[in-house]
Each structure stands twice: as structure tokens, then as C-alpha cells.
């Protein structure tokens, strides 16, 4: 059947009333990233290169929860995570707790390609990023006004929210799992 | 959370996932994305990337489970992916997956999931809700 590609930009309680100005930029980015991946596959790039390429583009879009546009911790900080896996070799790499790396997915690829390890986190991942010379920026680069507002709403409702889930007013019941994830 | 899975013309499979996590998460919280086999997995049969509530995805090892159902029970990618999604409480997550034969599956048990796919055979889809 030849090549195939699929991508996602997050799941959650996405209301059908989502206004066009919030829906269309995301759909346009999905189409653009899909076209990018298709072109790369048609050009003979490997699946591993293609998934990294596409996820980098999605990370660079502030409308999605990764890279620029990442949601905020309770402290108002960004802690990004990424992983990549090659099905042919079973090679894999992952990072978490990065706050300055522009494309966490490429840092995960470097963990896979350049270290004997699978997973680096927090200070170790940041130090590795600098050793490898990957692009880094001030953490404020990743923070959007929309996500500052989402954090404020989530704190008011005392909730932890997955992508696109609308904040609920008031205290959740004590047995509500979503309060702790 | 964003992610991409692909199989190339040489039948190599790969998966990649990236995320900022959850709004208002505790500092230091680790989600499913970097835990290989939870939200991201690829082998010689399929590649999977998941999105949603990380703790649920970790508990159910969803990405590896899709591959295991194909490997050990002989399920198709679609059947394996739908079986795994059905086994997790509603509202928790979705996934995208491709098989080595170029089959695609994008099930979710949330209201919606931003998703897109294409095959060499000319099929293409971009959608949010189940009936898109």
C-alpha cells in the first residue's frame, strides 16, 4: 500500500461551537503539516525524518500545546516533553522538563542518535541541548497570552486540564480523578 | 499534544510526540509522552502516537498495547487501536497509528481530536469530530 502518514494536534472536550477563528488556524496548520509530510515521503525521506520534520512544524505553531504555545504549570512555567521512536531499529529518545529548547522533538532525536540512553530530563536535558548546540530561547518565547488566561481559569476552577477542555467553575468533587490527572 | 506517525516506501515505521503537558500541572510532573510505550511506540508492525490525559495513557500503556494486540492476537491495526481506546474511560484520550501495510487508524474517546492523514493511494482526511 506504500507510504502513509497521520498526525494529531491534541484531543479533548472540543465543542462543536468552537468559533471559526479558533478552529481554522489549527486546521490550516494540520493541512500544511500534512502536505509537508507527504512531500517529504514522496521525496524518499525516511519515516523517522518525516515524523521529526512534521512535529517540529507543529511545535512552532502557537495554536497547539507543544513548543511555542505549550500550556503552563501551576507555577506559570513551561515544562515540555517529547519522544521519538524508530520502528525498524527500536531506537528511541525522549526528553522532559525542558524550558528553553525550541524543538524538543529534535532534542529527543539527538538523545536517540548521540547517547547510549533513552531519556534525559530537566537540567540534564537542558545541559545536553547546550552541548549539542540546538536552538534555545528564553522560556518566555513559549508562553502565549491565551495560555496565561487558561492557567488563571484552571486555578480558579482548581482543575488540571487536558488539551481544549473547557474550565469548569467551582470546586470539583473529592473523587474527581481529573483534579490530579 | 502534537504527534506524527509514518510508514515510508521502504516499510520503515516511526512515531514522534511532543507536548507541553496539562494546564495547571504540578511542576516536575511527567506525562505519557516521554514514557516509551505509553503515548509513543513504533516497531516493525505499527507506529502509534497518543494525546489526552497522560496519567490514563500511562496506566493503560496504550501505544504498546496496540502493537501487542497486532503482534500476539493478529488483530488489524484498526481493530487493535479501537480495542485499546474502548478500554480506557471516555474522555481520556485519542491516538493516531499507521501499520507497515499503510493502514491508518485515528480513534479517540474524547469529544474531538485535531487530526489529519494521507496515504500513497490518494486518501486524505483532516478533521476534529468523529463524523468529520
Q: How far is A37 from chain B (nearest CA, A)?
A: 9
- Report pLDDT for A97: 98
- Report pLDDT for B132: 87
Residue A42: HSE in the Cβ half-sphere, 13 Å Cα cutoff: 11
Q: B64 φ, ψ to 5°?
A: -65, -35
- Report pLDDT for B24: 96
Contact check, Cβ <8 Å, A104/B25: no
Closest CA to A121 of A129, A167, A4, B109: A129
Average pLDDT value over all residues in chain B: 97
Distance CA A8, CA A176 (A): 27
- Report pLDDT for A167: 59
Task: Give catalytic status of residue B1 as yes or no.
Answer: yes
Q: A86: how many CB neighbours lie within 10 A of its CB?
A: 24
What are the strands of the beta sheet with B46-52, ordered from one edge? Answer: B40-42, B46-52, B93-99, B104-105
For the residues of A136-152, what is the DSSP string, one character each?
A: B--GGGG--HHHHHHHH
ipTM value, please give it: 0.98
Task: State which residues of chain A have pLDDT below 70.
Answer: 166-181
What's the pLDDT tens digit per position in A132-162? 999 999 999 999 999 999 999 999 988 887 7
Q: B110: how many CB neighbours lie within 10 A of its CB?
A: 25
Residue A135: helix, strand or coil by DSSP? coil
What's the pLDDT tens digit per position in B93-105? 999 999 999 999 9
**Mean pLDDT value across residues B66-75:** 98
Interface of A with B in 105-124 (CB under 8 A): 105, 108, 118-119, 121-122
Distance CA A99, CA B21 (A): 12
From chain B, the residues in CB contact with A16 under 8 A are 112, 129
Interface mutation vs chain A, best among B7, B24, B70, most A CBs within 10 Å: B24
- Report pLDDT for A178: 39
- DSSP 8-state secondary structure symbol assigned to residue A178: G
- Report pLDDT for A176: 39
Grid cell in block for residue A96: 522532559
Contact check, Cβ <8 Å, B22/A52: no
Q: How far is B72 from chain A (nearest CA, A)?
A: 17
- Report pLDDT for A175: 40
Amino acid at each position: 500500500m506504500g507510504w502513509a502518514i497521520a498526525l494529531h494536534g491534541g484531543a479533548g472536550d472540543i465543542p462543536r461551537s468552537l468559533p471559526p477563528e479558533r478552529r481554522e488556524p489549527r486546521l490550516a496548520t494540520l493541512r500544511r503539516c500534512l502536505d509537508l509530510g507527504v512531500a517529504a515521503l514522496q521525496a524518499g525521506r525516511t519515516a523517522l525524518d518525516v515524523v521529526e520534520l512534521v512535529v517540529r512544524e507543529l511545535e512552532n505553531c502557537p495554536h497547539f500545546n507543544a513548543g511555542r504555545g505549550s500550556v503552563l504549570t501551576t507555577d506559570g512555567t513551561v515544562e515540555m516533553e517529547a519522544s521519538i521512536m524508530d520502528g525498524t531499529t527500536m531506537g528511541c529518545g525522549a526528553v522532559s522538563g525542558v524550558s528553553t529548547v525550541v524543538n524538543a522533538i529534535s532534542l529527543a532525536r539527538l538523545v536517540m542518535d548521540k547517547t547510549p540512553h533513552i531519556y534525559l530530563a530537566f537540567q540534564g536535558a537542558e545541559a545536553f541541548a547546550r552541548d549539542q548546540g540546538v536552538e534555545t530561547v528564553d522560556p518566555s518565547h513559549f508562553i502565549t497570552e491565551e495560555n496565561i488566561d487558561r492557567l488563571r481559569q484552571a486555578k480558579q476552577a482548581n482543575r488540571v486540564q487536558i488539551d481544549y477542555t473547557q474550565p469548569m467553575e467551582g470546586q470539583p468533587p473529592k473523587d474527581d480523578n481529573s483534579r490530579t490527572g | 499534544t502534537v504527534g506524527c506517525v509514518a510508514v515510508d516506501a521502504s516499510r520503515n515505521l516511526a512515531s514522534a510526540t511532543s507536548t507541553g503537558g496539562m494546564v495547571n500541572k504540578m511542576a516536575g510532573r511527567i506525562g505519557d509522552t516521554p514514557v516509551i510505550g505509553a503515548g509513543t511506540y513504533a516497531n516493525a508492525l505499527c507506529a502509534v502516537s497518543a494525546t489526552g490525559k497522560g496519567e490514563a495513557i500511562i496506566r493503560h500503556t496504550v501505544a504498546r498495547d496496540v502493537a501487542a494486540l497486532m503482534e500476539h492476537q493478529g488483530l488489524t491495526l484498526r481493530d487493535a487501536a479501537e480495542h485499546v481506546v474502548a478500554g480506557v474511560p471516555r474522555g481520556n484520550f485519542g491516538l493516531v497509528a499507521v501499520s507497515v501495510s499503510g493502514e491508518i487508524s485515528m480513534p479517540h474517546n474524547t469529544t474531538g481530536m485535531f487530526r489529519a492523514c494521507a496515504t500513497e493511494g490518494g486518501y486524505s482526511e483532516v478533521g476534529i469530530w468523529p463524523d468529520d
